[in-house]
Structure 1
Amino acid sequence: MAHLSGLHQRIAALKERPQLASVSGVVTTSLAMLKYFDQDLTPFTMVTTKSFQVVPNPGNREPILCEVASGSFGNSVGLRNQGMTLALEELQKLRDDYEMRTLLNVSISGSTIEDFVILAKAFEPVADILELNFSCPHAEEGYGSAIGSSGEIAAAYVKAIREALGNSGPLIFPKLTPNVDDIGSIAQAVMAAGADGLVAINTVGPEIHIEPISGSPILQNPLGGAGGKSGLWIYDDAIKAIKAIRQAVGPEVPLIGMGGVSTGKDVAEMILAGADFVGVGSAFAKVHQRNWLAYCEALVEDAIAILKGTESNSSVKYYSLEPSMEYKEHKIVERQEYGSDTLVVTLNGQWPYEAGEYVFLWIPGVGEKPFSIAIDSPLTFVIKVKGEFTKALSDLKVGESLFIRGLYGEPFEVQSHPQAILVAGGSGIAVVPALAKRLASEGVILQTFVGISNEGDRDVLREEIEKYGPLTVVSDQGVVGRVLNNLLDNALKEGCSYYFIGPTPFMGRGAEGLVEKGVDPADIFLSLELTTLCGVGLCGQCSCGKQLTCQYGTFVSYRFVLDNEPELLK
């Protein structure tokens, strides 16, 4: 565990090389992403978890993120987290697996002193630093900035946590809100109460972010859609706050500075303002994951050059200035119902895409979810009605609007044998036309199996799929995933690639069955429909091992899953 003297030694190294930190709630929200930053992104010397609470919190409904201008975001995650017990199990596993290179900063959030003490004691064995979330602007009443807006209240929390931990446990770093008149006085109050260092800033706001075409708030939360501001448009606020904090507490207090950092110049200016570690967060939405290491190395090298008086901006080549989350309005022109729970919706216009890519569909006031495009022209989606959002989708009439953003992911790179068998279940059938088209264009001989639970689904996309090869539709008839039996009866050990699309347990069963029959796991590909909340890399939820499917695409080999995160298919 880190102690203050050791942290000061790391800070002294800043004179030679700036040190980066990940920020709470951005990218390093899963065990896989924490390990990725620790093992692969060497410019980072600190990794920060999402904020954990005593009990699980589902957070707000999507959308939880919007891009108001390129690189400037509104967010309202609502402290979504798995709760203290599961989080502690995961972090203990991380600690047991190997010795981490980076400092582990565990963010905690509560609405009472008692909650914070429980959390601090629980995470004491695994944390180098405990970041006290006194600053979330869109949390429920009593949480986040409700604490950090008062120096007296914040100090009382810090004092109680310090008394509970003593002086030998993890370091205590309150995260301060910029939404106050005098952040310096609050910094002084928490330091006097026993804090070891400080973090600033959290998001600015909240305010309501309006989508210009619909005129509706984008974010979904009990605050009427009001969300915090992050990214480029809060950089000046961050610099102002960090300067005020440093002036108030003096030169010795460790300070993690963050807010809108996107260039090496920003890193240098934040250090000059008083930061010892520099947090990088929202910028990852504008850089493809394959370039994250090079981008962060460039941030550090540019900052070093600028601090020495030389202009440098090599990081700019990795940072996209194009909007990432802009909505387009489309009208429903046709709707076809199949059975009791399947709907095929056709919209005006087109949306070119390939297998491995997806979009988000948004209904203002209801929410948004990721969907694969079934046909690009006319633009067509297959909807399985199974939740609040898909029920709202199924209620839309011809002529009504649906909003789309994307594309996310990447096209699948064909690595196929001369023959291929495609197996789809549930809403996975939507991916089949694009995948079949791509494989057929490479001269691959195709056969497709589709499993259905409802006889009414037998003709969904049939005409489109049969353009590329024979189609066998298999009804469950009371046996879930019965189509897999047909697949295994027709399995070829050599000269054939296999592609699964559907629920992860379904794909896992099929892939495992093929391996038992002698098929090489490298010849089996899965379309991972993992949880994704943003599509741009910030939520960190769609990770398979160290890769985000929103960045690299949804298709991965079974070999890759077995080597990196086999529990995904359980």
Structure 2
Amino acid sequence: MVSTATKIGNFDFDNCLMNAAGVYCMTREELAEIDASLAGSFVTKTGTLEARDGNPEPRYADTLLGSINSMGLPNKGFDYYLDYVTELQNQPNSKNHFLSLVGLSPAETHTILKQVEASDYTGLVELNLSCPNVPGKPQIAYDFETTTEILTEVFSYYTKPLGVKLPPYFDIVHFDQAAAVFNQFPLTFVNCVNSIGNGLVIDDETVLIRPKNGFGGIGGDYIKPTALANVHAFYQRLNPSIQIIGTGGVKSGRDAFEHILCGASMVQIGTALHQEGPAIFERITNELKAIMSEKGYEKIEDFRGKLNYIEA
């Protein structure tokens, strides 16, 4: 019997597929749709200390090979999402979930995490170190010194399961440096990757989105090779106790299979979920199971991380 069940830390999931933060996760109603689907879990919209309207419209556009967006972190405030996941965890037979959050400054991040630490929520938290679409704010995870400072302080008080959402890295030395930082801390997982920042897509003579004169994060087919490289690079470099969630360019069972082959324990779907809706989880799960069955794999651990190289 082929199974796509998986684990992240001490948490079990019936299916390794879920949404990516930012898609189908703004409201309780959207999250409930994901929860009712074949997805193994959901992650909430990245919540900030206060609710945010985000950037002006149009701020998302589908493109020939994926999408471009500059959302500006619209969300209902982290309390909204914390209340919901806490409510769900107390229901019988509830799935395990991920709470995504970030502060607009290190001080805000610590304020939020301290409130989560003091709360009744015992599930997984994803600290988003890869918000590329807030004007004037750099991506935290590209600054290794700041990342180290933030995580050092976080783990001085935070005792619950915590992972980080990462932007894509593009240089081998940056994989080495980033892994050296993350290996210092008791992280439960890393999530690779957020969108590739500051792309530009043009229709005729005009940009597709309004914020930042059209510059935005690129998702979909464009980013799968970059996402796979990041998943595998960190699989090779991180402590085995730090698991990997693969995100980027997943729209078929084959795409999910490749993320797992590169080392992902769980796989998130973003652009394709936005385009197809929650029914996508059933389709991709069936496609993934068909590939596994054809290859004789009964569970994802049979092939996770077992990417083949071409020998010299």
The residue that corresponds to 2:219 in the other structure is 230
From the CA coordinates, give the structure whose radius of gyration is larger. 1
Tell me by how many angstroms 1:48 deviates.
0.3
1:153 and 2:146 aligned:
yes
Unaligned runs of 5+ in 1: 1-5, 310-570
Find the residue that maps to 2:164 and give its secondary structure: strand
1:197 and 2:197 aligned:
no
The residue that corresponds to 2:103 in the other structure is 110
Separation (CA, whole Å) in 2 of partners of 1:250 and 1:303: 29
Residue 203 of structure 2, aligned match among 204, 207, 211: 211
Report % sequence identity: 22
Residue 246 of structure 1, aligned match among 212, 235, 249: 235
Q: Which structure has the highest strand share of the two? A: 1
Residue 304 of structure 1, aligned match among 280, 288, 292: 292
Does the Cα contact within 8 Å between 1:52 and 1:81 map onto a contact in 2?
yes
CA RMSD in angstroms comes to: 2.5
- TM-score norm. by structure 1 comes to 0.47
Q: Deviations over 1:420-475 (max 9, x none)?
A: xxxxxxxxxxxxxxxxxxxxxxxxxxxxxxxxxxxxxxxxxxxxxxxxxxxxxxxx
- Which letter does structure 2 place at the counterpart of 1:156? E
Tell me by how many angstroms 1:90 deviates.
4.0
Does the Cα contact within 8 Å between 2:199 and 2:216 map onto a contact in 1?
yes
Q: Deviations over 1:195-216 (max 9, x none)?
A: 222111000121222122xx11
Change beyond 3 A, Cα 1:245–1:140:
same
Q: How does 1:25-424 map to 2 (within 5 A)?
A: 25-38=22-35, 40-42=36-38, 44-70=39-65, 72-95=66-89, 98-99=91-92, 101-124=94-117, 125-126=120-121, 128-142=123-137, 145=139, 147-165=140-158, 167=159, 169=160, 171-181=161-171, 182-212=174-204, 215-221=205-211, 223-287=212-276, 289=278, 291-305=279-293, 307-308=295-296
Q: Deviations over 1:135-172 (max 9, x none)?
A: 122223335x2x1102221122112111121x3x2x11
Separation (CA, whole Å) in 1 of partners of 2:62 and 2:285: 26
- Which letter does structure 2 place at the counterpart of 1:203? S
Tell me by how many angstroms 1:232 deviates.
1.2
Find the residue that maps to 2:56 and give its secondary structure: coil
Does the Cα contact within 8 Å between 2:195 and 2:218 map onto a contact in 1?
yes
Separation (CA, whole Å) in 2 of partners of 1:266 and 1:251: 23
Find the residue that maps to 1:156 and give its secondary structure: helix
Change beyond 3 A, Cα 1:174–1:128:
same
Tell me by how many angstroms 1:102 deviates.
2.2
Separation (CA, whole Å) in 1 of partners of 2:92 and 2:114: 21
Find the residue that maps to 2:155 and give its secondary structure: helix
The residue that corresponds to 2:20 in the other structure is 23
Separation (CA, whole Å) in 2 of partners of 1:22 and 1:7: 15
Find the residue that maps to 1:50 and give its secondary structure: coil
Find the residue that maps to 2:285 and give its secondary structure: helix
Q: Deviations over 1:494-540 (max 9, x none)?
A: xxxxxxxxxxxxxxxxxxxxxxxxxxxxxxxxxxxxxxxxxxxxxxx
The residue that corresponds to 1:7 in the other structure is 8
- Which letter does structure 2 place at the counterpart of 1:298? N
Separation (CA, whole Å) in 2 of partners of 1:177 and 1:133: 9
Find the residue that maps to 2:97 and give its secondary structure: strand
The residue that corresponds to 2:304 in the other structure is none
Change beyond 3 A, Cα 1:128–1:140:
farther
Separation (CA, whole Å) in 1 of partners of 2:269 and 2:292: 16
- Which letter does structure 2 place at the counterpart of 1:161? V
Find the residue that maps to 1:54 and give its secondary structure: coil
Find the residue that maps to 2:37 and give its secondary structure: coil
User: Which fold has the larger relative contact order, with Cα–Cα distance below 8 Å and residues 6 or more apart in sequence?
Assistant: 2
- TM-score norm. by structure 2 comes to 0.83
Does the Cα contact within 8 Å between 2:16 and 2:40 map onto a contact in 1?
yes
